[in-house]
Structure 1
Amino acid sequence: MRTSTPRAWATLGLCTATLPFNAHADFLSDSKATLEARNFYFNRDFKQHDAPQNQATEWAQGFLLKFESGFTDGPVGVGIDAMGQMGLKLDSSPDRHGTGLLPYGASGRAPDSYSELGLTAKARYSQTVLKAGTLQPQLPVAAFNDTRLLPSTYTGELITSKEINGLTLNLGRLEKQNLRDSSSNDGMSYAGVETSHLDLAGGSFALTPNLTTSYYHARMKDIYSQDFVGLVHEQSLADGVSLRSDLRYFATREDGEHRFRSATRVDGGRIDNRFFNGMESLSVGGHRFGVGYQNLSGRGDFAYPGLDPYSVNLVTINVFTKAETDAWQLRYDYNFAAMGVPGLTFMTRYVSGSHIDTAKVSGGTERERDTDFSYVVQSGPLKNVSFRLRNATLRSGSGLTTDINETRLIVGYNLSLW
C-alpha cells in the first residue's frame, strides 16, 4: 500500500476537524467520486530466437476508485483527494510474466491481487493550489503513465498557479515514484541510479488564443538537469480544415557526474544532449494526417523520470530515446462520427529511427508500426463501455532491439458515483 505524505495528511485532518459546518458543506458539495473498471489482455511475442523468453502474456482486471473533494470556504480552502487501486490476476505464469500489468518477484510469479492507496492533501488560495502526497503530473519534465492496468503515480508536492489570465505556473518536488506494475513507493531514479528527489519549475503562457508557449526546468539531484521549451499553434485554414504545430526542445546535462557515470551506459553514462521533436497535423473533416520528426544529438540517452518521455515518438512499444536517434513518423487518424458512426475511431502510425548508438551498436535502426481501433458504446445497457484493440510490431537492425509482435485488448467502463 502506498500513502500520501503523513505530515501533510495529519495537518489537513486537524484543520478540517475544527472548521464550522458551513465550511464542511462546501467541502462536500463540490466533491466527486468515480469508479473505473479496466479489463486488460496483453500478448507480446518475441520473434528473435535468442530472446530470454518466447512470450509475455497476461490477463487482468483492474479497478480505480477516485475521490476529489471540494475546498472549504474562506480565504484559504483545504481539501483532500484519495485514489484506491486494485489489480486482480486472471491469467499469468512465470514463463509469460513481464507485461507491465502485474507485479512479480524473483520467481516470475504474479500475485493473485495487489492494491494501492494514494492520499493527497490540498490547499487553495485565490487561483493557486498546493497539493502534497500522491500526484499524477502531466508535464513536459515529469509525466505519469496510464497505458497498462493501473496508472503510475509520484509522491511529492506541487504548486499550480493561474493568477494571471492565460498563464499557468508549476513548482514542485517529486520524492517517490510508483510504477504501473508495482504497489510500493520507490525512490526517484534514472537508468538504475536512485536519488532523493526531482525538482521542477516552469509553466505555459497563451500568447494568443491559438498560440501557447511553455518553459520548464527540472533537476534530478545528482543525475541530470534539464531545460525545456515548447510551442503549440493551431490554425483554422477553412471550414472543417485546421493545422496544428507541436514543437518541443530539451537540453539535458549531467548533475553530480561521478555518481551517474558509475552506471553502465553508452559514453560511460554521460549525459549532455539536445532533443528536438515535433509534429505537424492536418485535420480535414474526420481525417487527421500527421508528420513527426525528432533529432537527438550529443552524449547519452535522453533522460526523463518514470516511463514516459515528452516526445511525439512515445508510441505503443518503443520510445526512440536512445543516444543519437533520428526518427520520422507518419500518422493517420479517422473519426467515424463523420460517417454517422459516433464513438468509433481508428489510428495507424509508422515510426522509423536511425543513427542509434548504444554500448554495443553504432548506427543502429528501429522501426515500429501501430494500429488502434476503439469504440465507446453510445446507448443501451452497455452505454459508455469502451473497447480498444491495439496491434503493434517493432523491428530493429544490427540486433539493437528484440523484435516484437504485440496485441492488446482493453475493455473499460467509467461510472460517476456522485
Structure 2
Amino acid sequence: MRVMKWSMIALAVAAGTSQLAVASSQDESKGFVEDSTLTAKTRAMYMNRDLKHGEANTNVKGDRKGYREDAGVSELVTFESGFTQGTVGVGVDAMAMGSVRLDGGSGRTRGDSGNGLFRNDSDGNPEKAQGKGGAAVKFRISDTVLKYGQQFVASPVFATDDSRLLPEVATGTLITSKEIKGLELSAGRFTALSSQTGMGRDSINGRNAKGLTSANIVGATYAFTDSFTGTLAASDVEDYWKKQYINLNYTLPINDTQSLNFDFNGYRSKDQGEAIANELDNKLWSLAGAYSFGAHKFTLAYQRSSGDTGYNYGVDGNGTIFVANSIQISDFLGKDEKSWQARYDLNMASFGVPGLTFMTRYIKGDDISTTSGNEGKEHEWNFESKYVMQEGPAKDLSFRVRYAVYRANDAYQEDYTPDNNDVRLIIEYPLSIL
C-alpha cells in the first residue's frame, strides 16, 4: 500500500505541473448570492418487514407482532450559498428537515426503532412528527474548501446514511482539496453524529449507548486515466477503532455499446482504546466484475471477511460499508464469511421507455463462525424497479419499489437477524428552487 501511495503522489505532482496557469474555482466565483442554490426534496416511504418462523417484535407494551410496518413523508430543504469574491471566499450552507408519520403504531414496531423511520416515545408509539436543522460555514482558497458545522459526508471510512426518511447529519470540520488535476485530497474531524431518527445533534449510538466520541479521517482519490481511479482512506474513531480502506476501479471500453468494469474494495479494521463496541480485528474485501452491453448489465462479485471478528460500523455512520455485497438487508460481513453475488440490471430506455430500470440480485454467504460453534449460512434475493419522470411539470419525480427475501440458518440467526421479507415503496420529488 505504501508503494502505491507514493506512486499516486508522484503521478499527481507530475500531472499538476501543467495546471498551474489554469484559473481556480475561487477565481471564477460569481459571489455569495449569484452562485447560491436552494433545493427541496420530498420523500414518501412505506416499509414492511414480515418476520418468519415464529419470530416477532416485542414492543414496550409487551405485545408481539410478526411484522414491522411504517409509513411517512419527509421534506429536506437545502441551501448552499456561493463564495464571496476575493482571495478567500466565504459562504454558508444550511439545511432544514422534518417528517410526518402516516401509518405505523406501537404494535407494528420493535423496541424504540421499528424500521428506522421514526423513533418511539415512552409509550411505545412512533413519534407523529420529527424535525431538525443545521448550518455550516465554509471557506475557499483556490480549489481548497474548508467546511465547519453540520454536513453530509460520503467518505468510505465515515459516511452519513440516507436510506430512510431523513438522513444522518455529522458535525465537524472537513477540508477538500482539488489543486492538482485528477487528485482529490480530504481530511476531517467529526465530534457528533445525528441519527436518522434522532433529532439531537449527537444522537447516534451505533450498537452501544455512548455514541460518537471523535473521528479523524483522511482520504485521497486519483484518476490515473479516464478509465482507472484509485482511492486510499483511513479513520481513527476514538475508543472504538481504526480503519484503512482501498479502492481500485477500472473500466475497459470494448466498443460504443459494450464495456467491462472491475471494482475492488478493501477494509482493515482494529479496535483501540476502550473498545466501546467490543473487540474488532477484521479484514473485509470484495471484487466485482460487470459486463455491460446495450440496455443490459451482468455483475458477478465475491466478498471475503477474515480475522478474529466480523466487520463493524455504525457509530462512524451507517453508510460506512463500501463493499459489493452490502445490500438491502444483509452486508455479508460475518466472521470468516465468504459470499458470492450474481446481479442483472436492465435499462428500458433502449426499448422506448426512458427512466424505467429494473434490477435483481442474489447473494449467498457461508463459512460464518458463530457463537454456537456451528457454521453460519445466509442468503438474500433482491428485486428493484424505479421510474423517473423525464419531462413535464413533474420532471425528476421518481417511483421506486424494493423487495428483499432474507434467510439464514439457525446458527447465524442467533447472532444476526431473523428471516424476513422486506418491502419498501419510495416516492421522491427533488425540486430546484434557486
Give your verdict on TM over 0.5: yes
CA offsets per residue over residues 240-278 of structure 1, 9 Å max, x none?
A: 10111110111111211xx22x75xxxxx3222211112
Name the amino acid aligned to 2:139. Answer: A
Q: 2 CA distance for matches of 1:358 and 1:120?
A: 44
Deviation at 1:148, TM superposition (A): 1.0
Q: 1 CA distance for matches of 2:139 and 2:393?
A: 40
- Aligned positions of 1:138-217 closer than 5 A: 138-186=154-202, 190-192=206-208, 194-217=211-234
Q: 2 CA distance for matches of 1:54 and 1:357?
A: 28
What does residue 289 of structure 2 align with?
Answer: 280
Deviation at 1:384, TM superposition (A): 2.4
Deviation at 1:188, TM superposition (A): 6.3
The answer to whether the 8 Å contact 2:192/2:212 transfers is: no
Q: 2 CA distance for matches of 1:382 and 1:128?
A: 36
CA offsets per residue over residues 128-183 of structure 1, 9 Å max, x none?
A: 00111112111111112111111112111100000111100010011111111221
The answer to whether the 8 Å contact 2:195/2:204 transfers is: no
What does residue 344 of structure 1 align with?
Answer: 356
- Aligned positions of 1:300-319 closer than 5 A: 300-304=309-313, 305-308=316-319, 309-319=321-331
Are 1:387 and 2:399 an aligned pair? yes
Q: 2 CA distance for matches of 1:91 and 1:245?
A: 42
- Aligned positions of 1:347-386 closer than 5 A: 347-360=359-372, 362-386=374-398
Q: 1 CA distance for matches of 2:376 and 2:37?
A: 50
CA offsets per residue over residues 355-392 of structure 1, 9 Å max, x none?
A: 22343454201111110011012234433221101111
Secondary structure, aligned partner of 2:31:
helix
Secondary structure, aligned partner of 2:394:
coil
Deviation at 1:187, TM superposition (A): 6.3
Secondary structure, aligned partner of 1:338:
helix
Secondary structure, aligned partner of 1:29:
coil
Structure 1 unaligned blocks of 5 or more: 1-23, 264-268
The answer to whether the 8 Å contact 2:195/2:203 transfers is: no
What does residue 31 of structure 1 align with?
Answer: 36
- Aligned positions of 1:129-144 closer than 5 A: 129-144=145-160
- Aligned positions of 1:97-116 closer than 5 A: 97=109, 98-116=114-132
Q: How many residues align?
A: 388
User: Given the superposition, is the C-alpha separation of residues 25 and 332 from structure 1 closer, same or farther in structure 2, using an over 3 Å criterion?
Assistant: closer
Deviation at 1:87, TM superposition (A): 0.1
What does residue 74 of structure 1 align with?
Answer: 86
User: Given the superposition, is the C-alpha separation of residues 361 and 62 from structure 1 closer, same or farther in structure 2, using an over 3 Å criterion?
Assistant: farther
Deviation at 1:104, TM superposition (A): 1.3
The answer to whether the 8 Å contact 2:348/2:354 transfers is: yes
Name the amino acid aligned to 1:277. Answer: S
Secondary structure, aligned partner of 1:63:
strand
Name the amino acid aligned to 1:359. Answer: T
Name the amino acid aligned to 2:251. Answer: E
CA offsets per residue over residues 323-357 of structure 1, 9 Å max, x none?
A: 22211111110000011100100011111111223
What does residue 229 of structure 1 align with?
Answer: 246
User: Given the superposition, is the C-alpha separation of residues 301 and 234 from structure 1 closer, same or farther in structure 2, using an over 3 Å criterion?
Assistant: same
TM-score, normalised with respect to structure 1: 0.89
Q: Which of 304, 307, 311 is 1:298 aligned to?
A: 307
Secondary structure, aligned partner of 2:33:
helix
CA-based RMSD: 1.8
- Aligned positions of 1:116-127 closer than 5 A: 116-127=132-143
Structure 2 unaligned blocks of 5 or more: 1-28, 58-64
> Which structure shows the higher strand fraction?
1
Where does structure 1 differ by over 6 angstroms across 4 or more consecutive aligned residues? none
Q: 2 CA distance for matches of 1:195 and 1:341?
A: 46
The answer to whether the 8 Å contact 2:161/2:318 transfers is: yes
